[in-house]
Structure 1
Amino acid sequence: MHDNELIFRHGDRPPFHTAFLVAFQHVLACFVAIIAPTIIVTGALGLQSEAPYLISLALLVSGISTLIQTQRLGPLGSGLLCVQGTSFSFVAALISAGLIARERGASDHEVLGVLFGICIAGSLIEMALGSVLHHLKRVITPTVTGVVVTLIGLSLISVGVTDIAGGHGADNPGDPMNLLLAVIVIGVVLTCQLSRHPMLRVGSVFVGLLAGCIAAALMGRLDLSGVAQAPLFQFPQPLRYGLGFDIAAFIPVAFIFAITAIETVGDLTGSSRASHLPTSGLEYQKRIRGGVLGDGFNSLIAGVLNTFPNTTFSQNTGIIHLTGVASRHIGLFVGGILVMLGLIPAMGAVLQSIPQPVLGAATTLMFGLIAVSGIRMLAEQRMTRKRVMIIALSLGAGLGVELVPQVLFGLPELVQSVLSSSITTGGLLAILMHLVLPEHQATEEDQAMAEDQAHASTRQATDTQ
C-alpha cells in the first residue's frame, strides 16, 4: 500500500475481523490518553478514593462521544473516523480550579461538583463558538495557540515529576527505587519509539506502563487489593456530586475551551485529508461545524456523567495512515469497546493501582511532548519582532506566576485566583499584545537583507543550472 492509497474508504464497511482489529489499534493508541487526565487530576487534588469510578466514566463517555462524532447525531458530529477522549489540555486548569475550591473549604464531593459545574458551563461556550470560528481565528492566532499549548505542557511537568518522586505526601520522596521504575518506563517507551515495527510505536506508552507495572510487581510495589473490592458492573449516576460554580476557577477552563475549538478544526482537517475527503468547500465546512459542535456537546455529556471535558484526538489520524482504513464504520467498534470498558469499574481499579512513579514517568514524557507541540506551532510562524515580543513576554509572565505566585499577593483575591494559572496569564497577555501591538514595518536594513537573500538565491539557482 502506498501512502496515498486507502484499503477501505470513508463510506466502506470492512469485514468484522478487519473492523475489530483496526478498532483495537485505535483504542490502544488513545487508551492511556483517555485515562491519564483523570488519574492526574484526582491524584493532585487528593481524590484517589473517587478515582476508580471516575476512570470508568472517562472510558464510558469517550465511547459515547466517539459514537456521536463518527456516526453523527443530527447536526452533531463530523462523520469522520476520529476518536474522542478526555482532553489533556484541561488538566492544569482543572487542578488549579480544584485547589481554589479546596482553599475555600470544599469537601471532596464539593470540589468535584465545582469541576463538573464549570466544565458544563464551558461546554456551552464551545458549542456557541462552532458558528463563529472564522471570527475566533482572528483573536486566537497560531501564535496565541502555540504559547498556550507550550504553557500547558511546561506547567504540568511538575505534576509528572511529583509522581516520579512518589506523589504528594510520599513517605520517602526521591526513593531510588522510584527513579529506577521511571527509568525503566522511559527506556521501554523510547525503545518502542525507535523500533521499525509500527504497532510498537503506536502502543509505546501502553507497553512502557506494562513494563513498569511488571517491574513494580517484582519489587513488591504493585498493590491490586482495590480490584477485588470494585463491583463487576456499574451504571453511571448523572450529577452524582452535584454542581457548583466559581468564576475564578471558570475563567481558565473557559479559555481552554476556546483553544480546543481551534485545535479540533486542525484535527478534523487532518482526518479529512487522511480519509481523502475535501478540505475546503461546503461539505468540509459542514463537517467542521458538526465536529466542533459535537466536541462541545460531548463535553456537556461528560460533565453530566461526572467526568472531564472531551476533545477530538489527533493520534488516530496516524492510525488511518498506518492501516489504510478510513471507514467511519470503525467508530462503532471503537465506541463499543470503550463503552464496555467503562461499565466495568474493576478496570478503573486496575488502572488506579498503577504505581505513581510508573505513571509519572509516562505522563512527564507526554507533558514534554505537549510543550514540544506548542514550540513547533511557534516555530512554524514567521518570527517578526511583534511575534517575538508576544512569545517572550507571554511565556515569561505565564511561567513567572507559576514559579513565583507571591508576585500576585498584592492584588484582590479574585484577580489572584484568575491570574494564578499560567495558561490564563500567558494566554490573555498573548491575545492582548496581539491586539495592541502594531505590526512591524520593515526597515531599510530589513529590506536590504531581504534583497541580499533574494540575490543569493538567484545566484545559487543560476549556478545549479
Structure 2
Amino acid sequence: MADTSIGTPEQLRDPNYTPALHKAIPLGIQHVMAMFIANVTPAIIVAGAAGFGFGSDSADFPQLLYMIQMSMLFAGIATLIQTIGVGPVGARLPIVQGTSFAFVPIMIPLVAGKGVDGLAALFTGVLIGGIFHGCLGFFIGRIRFALPPLVTGLVVTMIGLALVQVGIQYSAGGVPAIGTPEYGSLANWSAALIVIVVTLALKFFAPGMWSISSVLIGIAAGYVWAIVIGILPVGSIGASWTNAATFSLPDPFRFGFELSFAAILGFCLMAFVSAVETVGDVSGITKGGAGREATEEEITGATFADGIGTALAGAFGALPNTSFSQNVGLIAMTGVMSRHVVTVGGIFLIICGLMPKVGGIIRTIPIEVLGGAVVVMFGMVVASGISMLSDVKWDRRNMVIFAISISLGLGLQLEPGALGKLPDTAQILLTSGLLPAAGLAIVLNLVLPQPLSDVSTDEISGGLSGQGTPAE
C-alpha cells in the first residue's frame, strides 16, 4: 500500500514527482539494499570461474576488488542514464540497473580456468554486445513476437538451472576446495544454512524494510556466524580493508582489448533476451506504479539505456547491465513511482563504486555465506521462469518445444565433454546450455505449425509416457 505521508496519490503515481529529501534518501537506499548483493555476485562468480585467488594476499586480489568496485559504479551510472535520461536514451522511469545474471552462463565458459588472461575477450564482448543491445531499441517492438512467454519463461528457467550448481558448490566450500577434507563440511554448510534460514524468516515474517532487505541481513548473519566458528579470521577483514584504497577512479580497458567471435556472438544473442526482459520490467513499473501501459518512447528509451550502460561497463571492466526485476516489485509494494528516488539510489551506488574499501569488505564475505545467498537467488530465478511459463497454453506443440529445448540445453550444460570434437567457439557457445535452449525454442516456435485445439495435455502426457489416457 502506498504511503500517503510521502505525497498525494496523484504525486506518488507521477515519475517526475520529487519527495522531500529526508524521505527520498531512505527510499533510494532501500532500492539499493534490495539489489546490492545480486549486483556484485556475478563478478565474484566470474572471478571464481576464471580461477582467481580470493585471499587478500593473492596476486588476483586487486583485480577482484576492481571488478566488484566497477559492478557498483556502473550499476549506478546505468541507473542514472535510465532515470534522468539523455535525449532519447533512458526511460525516465524509476528503473534500477544492475549486473545481469542472465549472462553468467555465457561468461563462465569464456573465462573458465584462464585467470586474468581470459578477461580481455570477455569485456570486449560486453562492450560490443552492449552496442548491439542499444541498437535493438530502434526495432524492439517488432521482435517481441519471437519471444512469447514459452520462450522467455524457458530462458529464465534455464538461467536459474544453469547456476544452481554454483550455489551448491559455494555452500560446500567453493570450487577450489573440491576434493579437500573441508569441502562439504558441516561448518561450511552451517554458514550457508544460517543465511537461508534468516533470509526466509525475514522475508515472510518481518515487516517493511526488514523483509525487503532479507537477503542482505541474512548475509550479515552468516558473516557473523562465519567469524564465530572460525571460517573467517578477523585478521583477514582488517587486511582487506587496509589493502584497499580509499578512493579510486575506473581504468578504461584495464584488462585489455581482444576480439573473440564466441564472446561477441554470445553477448549479442543474449542481448535479445535481456532487451525483452527490460520491456517486461518497464511494463511492470508503469502498471504497478502508475496504473497504465508503458509508452513506446519509454520502452525504446529503456532499451537504448540498457545497451549504452552495458557498453560503458564493458569499456571499464564491469559486466553487462540490465533492469532489476526485484526493484519493480518494490515499486509496486511502496507505491512510490518517483524516478528521483531511484536517482538517489544510483548516486549511492556510484559513491560506493568509487570507494574500493567497500569492495574490500564485500570480498571478505566467505564463499559459503555467499553460497547460501545465491541458492536463494538462483532458486527464485527458476521460480520466476516457472511463473512465466504458467501463462503458456500447454498443448502438444508447446510441450514438444519446451521438452526438446530444455533437454538439449540442460544436457549440453551438464555434459560439456559431449561436444569435445567441435571447434572452441562452438563449444563455448553450446555448453553454456542457455544459448542452444533459447535458440532452439525461438526457431521451433517460429516454424512449427499451431496444433489442433482439441488435443489435450492429458492425451500428450499419456502418449509420451506410454501408459495411455484414461479414455483408453
Regarding TM over 0.5, the answer is yes
Task: Tell me the distance in 2 between the aligned counterparts of 1:414 and 1:194.
Answer: 45
2:445 counterpart residue number? 434
Query: Any residues of structure 2 matched to 1:246-257 within 5 Å, and which?
Result: 246-257=260-271
Task: Tell me the distance in 1 between the aligned counterparts of 2:266 and 2:76.
Answer: 27
User: Aligned residue pairs: how many?
Assistant: 438
SS at match of 1:275: helix
Letter in 1 for 2:215: V
The more displaced of 307-316 and 44-53 is: 44-53
Q: CA deviation at 1:93?
A: 0.9
Letter in 2 for 1:204: S
2:246 counterpart residue number? 232
2:468 counterpart residue number? none
Q: Which runs of 4+ in 1 moved over 6 A?
A: none
CA contact (8 A) 1:96 1:249 kept: no
SS at match of 1:68: helix
- Identity among equivalent pairs (%): 36
SS at match of 2:98: strand
1:454 counterpart residue number? none
Q: CA deviation at 1:435?
A: 2.3
Q: CA deviation at 1:245?
A: 2.3
CA contact (8 A) 2:285 2:332 kept: no
CA contact (8 A) 1:130 1:289 kept: yes
CA contact (8 A) 1:97 1:250 kept: no
Task: Tell me the distance in 1 between the aligned counterparts of 2:240 and 2:320.
Answer: 26
SS at match of 2:87: coil
CA contact (8 A) 2:203 2:210 kept: yes
Task: Tell me the distance in 1 between the aligned counterparts of 2:247 and 2:416.
Answer: 44
CA contact (8 A) 1:44 1:159 kept: no
Letter in 1 for 2:276: I
2:228 counterpart residue number? 218
Letter in 2 for 1:335: G
Task: Tell me the distance in 1 between the aligned counterparts of 2:41 and 2:384.
Answer: 18
SS at match of 1:130: helix
1:111 counterpart residue number? 118
Residue 259 (structure 1) aligned to one of 267, 270, 273: 273
1:73 counterpart residue number? 86
Q: CA deviation at 1:2?
A: 5.8
The more displaced of 345-354 and 419-428 is: 419-428
1:60 counterpart residue number? 73
Residues 294 and 114 of structure 1, relative CA distance in 2, 3 Å threshold: same
SS at match of 2:83: helix
Q: CA deviation at 1:414?
A: 3.6
Residue 378 (structure 1) aligned to one of 389, 394, 400: 389
2:469 counterpart residue number? none
Residue 197 (structure 1) aligned to one of 197, 207, 214: 207
Residue 269 (structure 1) aligned to one of 276, 283, 295: 283
CA RMSD in angstroms, aligned pairs only: 2.0
Residues 140 and 2 of structure 1, relative CA distance in 2, 3 Å threshold: closer
Task: Tell me the distance in 2 between the aligned counterparts of 1:413 and 1:78.
Answer: 39
Task: Tell me the distance in 1 between the aligned counterparts of 2:69 and 2:416.
Answer: 35
Matched, 1:36 2:57: no
Deviations 1:383-433 (A, max 9, x none): 121110011111111111112223223444443332112001111111221
Q: CA deviation at 1:303?
A: 0.5
CA contact (8 A) 1:22 1:323 kept: no
Residues 92 and 6 of structure 1, relative CA distance in 2, 3 Å threshold: farther
Q: CA deviation at 1:380?
A: 1.3
Q: CA deviation at 1:52?
A: 1.1
Question: Any gaps of 5 or more consecutive residues in structure 1?
Answer: 450-465
Task: Tell me the distance in 2 between the aligned counterparts of 1:250 and 1:2.
Answer: 44
Residues 45 and 6 of structure 1, relative CA distance in 2, 3 Å threshold: farther
CA contact (8 A) 1:146 1:377 kept: yes
Give the alignment's TM-score, normalised by structure 2: 0.89
2:462 counterpart residue number? none
2:466 counterpart residue number? none
Deviations 1:129-163 (A, max 9, x none): 11212221222222111111111100101111111
Letter in 2 for 1:216: A
1:345 counterpart residue number? 356
Q: CA deviation at 1:255?
A: 2.0
Question: Any gaps of 5 or more consecutive residues in structure 2?
Answer: 55-59, 460-472
Matched, 1:133 2:140: yes
Task: Tell me the distance in 2 between the aligned counterparts of 1:6 and 1:42.
Answer: 46
Query: Any residues of structure 2 matched to 1:10-21 within 5 Å, and which?
Result: 10-21=15-26
